[in-house]
């Protein structure tokens, strides 16, 4: 099979297009031909080893001390099952599925092997393979933080910082679906997109600093790490909570204590990658309550260009990479482009 691998950290140029043996599924596994994947912020961080100040060594412990521990990136995908292990009963040959290897990576390839009871679910017919591949990373993070960790309630005021990204655009849609009054923070170029996703109010961060102007919020969600607790605390109501999806080292380790001293809460941690959460967000997409935003769709041969686009820091929603030349079976469901 063909795949993109890397053996050193750095720019997109460290990626190599290589031929590797096609993996064989074990008795409880399935072999999936990947139709589409994405370049996520997780891929960017692992490839470039860009970490918050003070966490460089921790990053190497996670991703590999001297060289990458997992040479094939790719946190999410959609595809078709081409081979099943002897003990597999949940899936059949030809089933279209959505997979979320997450921190295990491996989706920037022609094929991937996944456990039958792992993080894979059937792809709804209403979703194209491109849309399906763009669901897991952003949507599971948004759902887990808003619903499971933050306990967002109907009628609450929530502000989403970084509302135009993969996680942020999912947060806007899900918070609105949960009955919240949603304010999105983004650049001027993305205001109309964020409003179209359902935001009640949109703030251009180059014009207005929400931490010093405007109302206070029951919940603030920082998806990009540009709203540290020291500034954001003033925009929270008493006993309000801040969800730290991305942030500084200080806030990650000491934020909860600092917030408690102010009578508020700062909630961080790692987003759940459970199959139950994946199943929930895929169903939300199938029912029309959430659709992943797709910025651009590259061919698999353009993987390096896709990484380079993510490196600019200006992507809107998700950057999809599809095996266009061999995916004649892709369905024709409409894609949410911006």
Residues 6+ apart with CB under 8 A from 285: 124, 127, 131, 135, 139, 291, 292
CA-nearest of 17, 104, 23, 107 to 69 is: 104
**Superfamily of domain 2-135+292-326 in the CATH hierarchy:** Medium-chain alcohol dehydrogenases, catalytic domain (3.90.180.10)
Instruction: Fold for 137-267, please state it.
Output: Rossmann fold (3.40.50)
| Model pLDDT, residue 154 | 97
Model confidence band, residue 338 (pLDDT cutoffs 50, 70, 90): very low
| Model pLDDT, residue 292 | 96
Q: What pTM value is reported for the model?
A: 0.90
Determine how many CB atoms are found less than 10 A away from the CB of residue 329: 11
pLDDT at residue 246 is higher than 80: yes
Q: Could you tell me the two tokens for 306? A: 């896709």
Domain boundaries in the chain?
2-135+292-326, 137-267
Q: Could you tell me the two tokens for 156? A: 């609450």
pLDDT at residue 157 is higher than 80: yes
In the block, residue with structure tokens 């709804």: 124
pLDDT at residue 312 is higher than 70: yes
What is the number of alpha carbons within 13 Å of residue 87 lying toward its C-beta?
7
| First and final C-alpha spacing in the chain | 32
Q: Are 199 and 182 in contact (CB under 8 A)?
A: yes
pLDDT at residue 328 is higher than 80: no
Model confidence band, residue 334 (pLDDT cutoffs 50, 70, 90): very low
Average the pLDDT over each of 41-55, 78-92, 195-209 and give the range with the smallest value. 41-55
Do 2-135+292-326 and 137-267 show the same overall fold?
Answer: no
- Dihedral sign for Cα 197, 273, 224, 14, please: negative
Higher pLDDT residue, 62 or 103?
Answer: 103
| Model pLDDT, residue 61 | 77
Q: Are 319 and 298 in contact (CB under 8 A)?
A: yes
The span from the CA of 255 to the CA of 158, in Å, is 19
pLDDT at residue 167 is higher than 90: yes
């Amino acid at each position: 099979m063909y795949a993109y691998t890397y053996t050193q950290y750095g720019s997109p140029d460290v990626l190599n297009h290589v031929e590797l043996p096609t993996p064989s599924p074990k008795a409880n596994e399935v072999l999936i031909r990947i139709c589409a994947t994405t370049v996520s912020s997780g891929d960017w961080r692992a490839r470039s080893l860009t970490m918050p100040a003070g966490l460089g060594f921790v990053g190497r412990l996670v991703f590999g001390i001297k060289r990458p521990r997992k040479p094939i990136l790719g946190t999410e995908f959609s595809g078709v099952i081409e081979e099943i292990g002897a003990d597999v009963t949940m899936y059949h040959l030809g089933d279209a599925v959505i997979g979320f290897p997450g921190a295990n990576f491996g989706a920037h390839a022609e094929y991937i092997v996944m456990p039958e009871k792992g993080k894979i679910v059937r792809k709804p017919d209403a979703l194209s393979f491109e849309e399906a591949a763009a669901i897991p990373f952003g949507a599971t993070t948004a759902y887990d933080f808003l619903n499971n960790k933050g306990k967002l309630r109907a009628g609450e005021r929530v502000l989403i910082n970084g509302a135009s990204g993969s996680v942020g655009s999912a947060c806007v849609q899900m918070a609105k679906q949960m009955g919240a009054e949603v304010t999105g923070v983004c650049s001027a170029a993305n205001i109309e997109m964020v409003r179209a996703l359902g935001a009640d109010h949109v703030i251009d961060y180059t014009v207005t600093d929400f931490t010093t102007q405007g109302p206070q919020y029951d919940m603030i969600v920082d998806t990009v790490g540009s709203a540290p607790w020291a500034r954001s605390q003033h925009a929270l109501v008493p006993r309000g909570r801040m969800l730290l999806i991305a942030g500084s080292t200080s806030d990650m380790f000491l934020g909860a204590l600092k917030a408690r001293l102010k009578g508020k809460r700062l909630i961080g941690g790692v987003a759940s990658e459970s199959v139950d959460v994946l199943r929930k967000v895929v169903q939300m997409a199938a029912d029309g309550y959430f659709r992943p935003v797709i910025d651009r769709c590259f061919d698999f041969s353009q993987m390096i260009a896709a990484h380079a686009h993510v490196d600019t820091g200006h992507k809107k929603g998700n950057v999809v990479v599809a095996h266009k030349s061999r995916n004649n079976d892709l369905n024709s469901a409409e894609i949410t482009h911006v």
